[in-house]
């Protein structure tokens, strides 16, 4: 049975963690997470059947004037006759194969997966005792989350889970503004409930204020995921920064962290917008990065396509090189990259996604030693290209120069990522120049050996007051290359 609210509160205050920020500040980022560096996000649900514009189809199809509204009427009919819930019987997921997905992600070099357990639309992708609107009782008639967990753990991939339930407070509310299938009576347990008017999403105190009934339901649903699937990390999307969630987040966090202690697992929560107190979880940055290395560990989540998190027929795919650049930027600045893939409505991973993932995996097969288990160096990088800090900074592709380098360290080596390799086969690392003053925070060590990971062969290297000059037999590749600088 799913835990009751009183049972959840009891466990949340049994220790070693308690349901307050003071206690939750004892949180430590799991060691495995800081070593993993690269994970796969999975947005898949009813919205994948519509495959139109993006994963917010369930909201937008009920807003007059939106493309989804008109598209829905043209393809499926009026919303009062064919509402969002009518996609459920069509969601048969006949090509879903958890083992195949995990094999694709493993070959891509991912060390953990983050399937969305429940999106804003309210359809649970797992077996639930709290609502019949789930993938086990309806649609595919499969415990999607359970199958992915089993397949992932067989391949030594860490299993995590994401909940976007909070936004369901208002997500279907626009359906009440005209004659549709979103209508009273609505009660707890109904698919569209509570369908409240959409508030000002930037207002931390917005009304209509989430009710205790809704917040209790949110807490129980999240704890059900925790107890049934024991994810190693939880991810929360936006809107849990609203004041209404503050007490509940402390209860939920203490409950989860205490459960992790019982299981003997290192667990964590990823959050955005200061929803949680700094230091009680992992800072999350959506579709963005930091300009400099951070003293705290963080994660960025982005997608394989620029314009949607779920599969659509009009995806604006990124090139593998852009994603690899993002991975390098994030890892060199003390973070992880969580890359989203959106499978088709039938459960198949699109061919273009497969090709991109394979190219990333091929690059990591050669250069992964500079990524996995690495740490930041005293500098994140050098060169003229400076990123903007913050979320949603992916409007255009970042162009790198031959002087743009990024750094990590591991063992006895400094790794230098050459973001845009020169065609003349030369690299100058100014950060490794002979130091004129050993008391300054510059490199003052002894280089033992210089190599390049993969096929490129170093023909000559020398170190002087300008920097470390590396000459190598250049290939025609356009992806970043990695110099391995071994130190005595």
Q: What's the token pair of residue 391?
A: 């979320």
**Given this model, what pLDDT does residue 107 score?**
98
Query: Are the C-beta atoms of residues 120 and 56 closer than 8 Å to each other?
Result: yes
Question: What phi, psi does 162 have (nearest 5°)?
Answer: -125, 135
Phi-psi region at 252: left, alpha or beta (left = phi > 0; alpha = psi -120 to 50): alpha
Helix ranges restricted to H, 137-190: 144-154, 168-171
CB atoms within 10 A of CB 378: 12
Per-residue pLDDT of the chain (488 residues; tens, 9 = 90+): 899 999 999 999 999 999 999 999 999 999 999 999 999 999 999 999 999 999 999 999 999 999 999 999 999 999 999 999 999 999 999 999 999 999 999 999 999 999 999 999 999 999 999 999 999 999 999 999 999 999 999 999 999 999 999 999 999 999 999 999 999 999 999 999 999 999 998 999 999 999 999 999 999 999 999 999 999 999 999 999 999 999 999 999 999 999 999 999 999 999 999 999 999 999 999 999 999 999 999 999 999 999 999 999 999 999 999 999 999 999 999 999 999 999 999 999 999 999 999 999 999 999 999 999 999 999 999 999 988 888 888 877 889 999 999 999 999 999 999 999 988 899 999 999 998 887 788 899 999 999 999 977 899 999 999 999 999 987 777 899 999 999 99
Q: Which residue has the tokens 């991973």?
A: 349
How many Å apart are CA 251 and CA 270, to the nearest integer? 16
Structural domain boundaries in the chain: 5-286, 381-487
Query: Are the C-beta atoms of residues 38 and 110 closer than 8 Å to each other?
Result: yes
| Topology of domain 5-286, CATH | TIM Barrel (3.20.20)
Q: What's the token pair of residue 91?
A: 């969601």
**b/e per residue 293-317 (b: at least 16 CB within 10 A):** bbeebbbbbbbbbbebbbbbeebeb
**Given this model, what pLDDT does residue 159 score?**
98
The CATH number of the structural domain formed by 381-487 is 2.60.40.1180
Query: Are the C-beta atoms of residues 85 and 192 closer than 8 Å to each other?
Result: yes
Q: Which residues contact 78 (CB under 8 A, 6 or more apart)?
A: 180
**Given this model, what pLDDT does residue 435 score?**
86
Instruction: Output the CA angle 318-322-328, nearest 5 degrees.
Output: 140
Of 325, 329, 337, 327, the C-alpha closest to 292 is 329
Q: Do domains 5-286 and 381-487 have the same CATH topology?
A: no
Q: What's the token pair of residue 1?
A: 């049975």
Q: Which residues contact 318 (CB under 8 A, 6 or more apart)?
A: 304, 305, 306, 356, 397
Helix ranges restricted to H, 197-350: 212-229, 246-263, 320-331
* Distances 318 to 12, 356, 375, 398 between C-alpha atoms, Å: 42, 9, 27, 12
């Amino acid at each position: 049975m799913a835990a009751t609210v009183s049972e959840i509160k009891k466990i949340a205050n049994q220790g070693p963690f308690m349901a307050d920020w003071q206690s939750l500040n004892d949180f430590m980022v799991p060691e495995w997470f800081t070593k993993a560096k690269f994970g796969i996000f999975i947005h898949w649900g009813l919205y994948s059947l519509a495959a139109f514009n993006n994963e917010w189809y369930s909201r937008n199809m009920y807003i007059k004037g939106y493309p989804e509204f008109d598209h829905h009427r043209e393809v499926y009919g009026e919303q009062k006759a064919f509402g969002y819930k009518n996609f459920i019987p069509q969601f048969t997921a006949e090509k879903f194969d958890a083992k195949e997905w995990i094999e694709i992600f493993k070959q891509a070099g991912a060390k953990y997966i983050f399937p969305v357990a429940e999106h804003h639309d309210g359809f649970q992708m797992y077996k639930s005792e709290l609502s019949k609107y789930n993938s086990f009782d309806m649609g595919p008639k499969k415990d999607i989350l359970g199958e992915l967990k089993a397949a992932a753990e067989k391949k030594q991939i860490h299993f995590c889970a994401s909940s976007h339930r909070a936004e369901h407070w208002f997500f279907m509310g626009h359906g009440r503004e005209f004659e549709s299938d979103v209508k009273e009576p609505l009660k707890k347990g109904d698919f569209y409930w509570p369908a409240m008017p959409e508030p000002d999403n930037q207002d931390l105190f917005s009304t209509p204020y989430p009710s205790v009934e809704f917040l209790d339901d949110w807490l129980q649903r999240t704890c059900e995921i925790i107890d049934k699937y024991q994810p190693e990390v939880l991810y929360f999307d936006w809107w849990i920064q609203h004041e209404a969630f503050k007490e509940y987040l402390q209860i939920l966090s203490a409950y989860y962290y205490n459960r992790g202690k019982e299981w003997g697992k290192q667990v964590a929560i990823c959050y955005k917008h200061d929803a949680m107190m700094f230091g009680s979880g992992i800072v999350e940055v959506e579709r963005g990065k930091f300009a400099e290395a951070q003293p705290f560990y963080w994660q960025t989540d982005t997608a394989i396509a620029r314009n949607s998190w779920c599969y659509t027929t009009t995806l604006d795919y990124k090139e593998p090189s852009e994603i690899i650049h993002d991975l390098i930027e994030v890892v060199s600045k003390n973070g992880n990259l969580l890359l989203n893939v959106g499978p088709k409505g039938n459960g198949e991973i699109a061919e273009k996604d497969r090709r991109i993932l394979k190219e990333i995996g091929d690059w990591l097969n050669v250069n992964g030693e500079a990524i996995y288990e690495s740490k930041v160096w005293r500098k994140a990088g050098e060169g003229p290209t400076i990123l903007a800090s913050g979320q949603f900074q992916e409007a255009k592709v970042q162009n790198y120069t031959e002087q743009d380098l990024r750094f990590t360290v591991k063992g006895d080596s400094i790794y230098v990522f050459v973001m845009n390799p020169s065609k003349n086969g030369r690299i100058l690392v100014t950060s490794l120049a002979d130091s004129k003053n050993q008391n300054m925070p510059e490199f003052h060590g002894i280089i033992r050996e210089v190599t390049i990971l993969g096929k490129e062969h170093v023909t000559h290297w020398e170190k002087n007051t300008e920097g470390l000059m590396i000459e190598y037999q250049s290939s025609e590749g356009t992806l970043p290359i990695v110099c391995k600088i071994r130190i005595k």
